[in-house]
Amino acid sequence: GFLPLQGHVVRNWKVRWFVLLQDKLLYYKIEGGKKEPSPKGRILLDGCTITCPCLEYENRPLLIKLKTKTNTDYFLECCSREERDSWALDITGAIHAGHPVQVQELHKMKNSFKLLENISLHNIVERMYDSNTGIKLTRNLDQGNRYKETFTGSALVDWLISSSFAVSRFEAVTLASMLMDENFIRPVGVRSTEATRSSDPSEKFLDDSTALYMFAESSKKNTSSKEEVHFNISELSGTIVKQGFLVKQGHKRKNWKVRKFVLRADPAFLHYYDPTKEDNKPVGGFSLRGCLVSALEDNGVPAGVKGNVQGNLFKIITKNDIHYYIQASSKAERVQWIEAIKPLT
């Protein structure tokens, strides 16, 4: 699948097509909408260590870090927590292929808790901010340092249970860990910060009245301009239904670029982002009301499509008669996107 990768020499981000094999991770360049035949590079997994979640970049909370036995660091970015955890699990399984017990434990850990389908982390954070029913922010002292607008680990666990987001303290701790992984909240003070260095994921967030946390800067609401607020409320407030990397044909140059697509409902919008950019703002998007979406056959290139495309094409026609040509990574993924979009049109 597609993942943004940070370069080693020039520290920019490029989207590559990754293929995981038993002992290596290959990545390919995409040209003209098609994967090149030879790999652009390879990551040897023998002796490799994986860090997930990797919090080295505050504005990229969905990173996986791979360090090879020659001490080369690779940073890969996923588009969702589920995708990140799936990649991390499979890569870890390949690294420890000779140790089936460790792989079994990884699967158990992954399946130990699942977020309810009707709950999103964004909704939880919105509720946390509520001045009446949200979590209470207080001043706290930690080893001589004063912190404003903080909350304790145990206070967050209590709030998650009382707000019906979790039914047990174990579930609430897991949910709080997700909020920290996704950079919605961050630890402050010695005790909570040291806990994040634990190798055990279940011990990274502390259900403790002396462990302090606060909202991360990136999750604070930005109301700097009326235009931006209007844009956020009108288009980006819907529930995320589906997200992932797809290849899109440009309107003017007709070239193909990998974009991160986010499908939202209520209101129904499809936005796309440039995953190589540092800011997390859409570079385009449109309302799905009145749209037509359909698969395009792979035998022959349809009119309006330029370049030597890979296949698995589908088309969205807006009510203003704007045509979007998009490639999925497989036929199954194309079906999933079409089935997700259709009910929202």
| Domains and their CATH numbers in the chain | 2-111 (2.30.29.30), 121-215 (1.10.10.10), 233-342 (2.30.29.30)
| Model confidence at 118: pLDDT above 70 | no
| Model confidence at 249: pLDDT above 80 | yes
Q: What's the pLDDT score for residue 289?
A: 93
Helices 100-110 and 81-95 sit at what angle, rounded to 10 degrees? 170
Q: Are 269 and 235 in contact (CB under 8 A)?
A: yes
DSSP state of 137: P
Q: What's the pLDDT score for residue 3?
A: 94
Q: What's the pLDDT score for residue 41?
A: 92
Highest mean pLDDT pick, 170-174, 198-202, 211-215, 252-256: 211-215
Q: What's the pLDDT score for residue 281?
A: 81
- Which of these, 316, 336, 329, lies nearest to 251 by C-alpha position? 316
Residue 219 banded pLDDT, cuts 50, 70, 90 = very low
The larger pLDDT score, comparing residue 65 to residue 98, is at: 65
Q: What's the pLDDT score for residue 18?
A: 95
Q: What's the pLDDT score for residue 135?
A: 93
Average pLDDT of the chain is 82
| Model confidence at 59: pLDDT above 80 | no
Q: What's the pLDDT score for residue 239?
A: 84
Q: What's the pLDDT score for residue 336?
A: 95
| Model confidence at 62: pLDDT above 90 | no
Q: What's the pLDDT score for residue 224?
A: 39
Give the pLDDT confidence of 151-185 residue by residue, as tens digits.
Answer: 999 999 999 988 888 888 888 898 898 888 777 89
Q: Are 243 and 261 in contact (CB under 8 A)?
A: yes
How are beta strands 256-265 and 269-273 bridged, if at all? antiparallel
Label residues 229-252 b or e (16+ Cβ within 10 Å = b). Answer: eeeeeebbebeebbbbbbbbbeee
The arithmetic mean of pLDDT across residues 74-80, rounded, is 91
Q: What's the pLDDT score for residue 226?
A: 39
| Model confidence at 221: pLDDT above 50 | no
Q: Are 279 and 62 in contact (CB under 8 A)?
A: no
